[in-house]
């Protein structure tokens, strides 16, 4: 970071606590019409295949080193997100200000992913905040945003149904669907800063 002023944020390789030696994140990318986020290597066994530093679209907020000048130029994390997408939003704003986002695999942490939230809680914030992220960064507008929201809704509801009927998950579909609908409505309608 000291050798290149263009590098604004550096993130580590993040391994899961359980199952051991599986990658949770090796940096992330934003892709497709829905501006979907995904983590490189998520869920795969770490055999060194992500051991090269590289530029990425974002790094996880659970471990990032941020140059002070980035805060001075773009501000801080948006607290309205509460959880999920605040790190992605911050990295997108940093990239828009011409900073590089770098994944650095020599730094490694272990993460107890999703230990602090239940699924319906996550469903709400992931849906709402994904839509907020798209709106806040002016990635898609108007009718396109509603279309994206519906695509995300159908995709996420499909995952809930799969967990229920294919994987025999006993968590209530009603509670998760209710939170998903709430997240969809709030994501499209609530005022964001």
| 158 assigned to some structural domain | yes
Backbone phi, psi, residue 5, to 5°: -65, -15
Nearest to 137 by CA among 84, 91, 185: 91
Among 64, 79, 111, which residue terminates a domain? 111
Q: Is residue 49 part of a domain?
A: yes
Residue 1 lies in a domain: no
Q: What's the average pLDDT block by block, 10 residues per block, for the chain (193 residues)?
A: 90 91 94 83 95 97 96 94 90 97 97 69 84 77 68 76 65 76 82 73
Question: What is the reported pLDDT for 34?
Answer: 74
**In terms of domains, do 105 and 28 share one?**
yes
Structural domain of residue 128, as residue ranges? 119-189
Same domain, 184 and 101: no
pLDDT, position 96? 95
* pTM score, whole prediction: 0.80
Residue 37: in which H helix or E strand, if any? strand 36-39
> Is 172 found in the same domain as 81?
no
Give a yes or no: residue 141 inside a domain: yes
Last residue of a domain, one of 85, 111, 137: 111
Q: What CATH number did the domain enclosing 13 receive?
A: 3.90.550.10
> What's the pLDDT at 24?
94
Residue 86 confidence (pLDDT)? 93
Instruction: Please indicate, yes or no, whether residues 70 and 125 belong to a single structural domain of this protein.
Output: no
Domains: count for the chain: 2
- According to DSSP, the β-strands at 54-55 and 100-111 are antiparallel
């Amino acid at each position: 970071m000291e050798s290149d002023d263009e590098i604004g944020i550096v993130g580590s390789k993040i391994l899961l606590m359980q199952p051991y030696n599986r990658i949770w994140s090796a940096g992330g990318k934003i892709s497709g019409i829905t501006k979907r986020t995904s983590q490189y290597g998520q869920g795969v066994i770490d055999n060194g295949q992500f051991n090269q530093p590289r530029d990425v679209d974002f790094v996880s907020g659970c471990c990032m080193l941020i140059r002070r000048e980035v805060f001075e130029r773009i501000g801080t994390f948006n607290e309205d997100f509460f959880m999920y997408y605040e790190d992605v939003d911050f990295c997108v704003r940093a990239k828009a200000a011409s900073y590089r986002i770098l994944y650095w695999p020599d730094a490694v942490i272990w993460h107890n992913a999703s230990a602090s939230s239940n699924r319906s809680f996550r469903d709400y914030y992931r849906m709402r905040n994904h839509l907020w992220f798209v709106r806040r960064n002016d990635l898609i507008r108007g009718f396109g945003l509603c279309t994206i929201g519906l695509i995300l809704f159908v995709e996420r509801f499909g995952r809930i149904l799969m967990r229920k009927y294919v994987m025999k998950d006993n968590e209530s579909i009603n509670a998760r669907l209710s939170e998903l609908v709430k997240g969809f409505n709030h994501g499209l309608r609530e005022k964001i800063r």
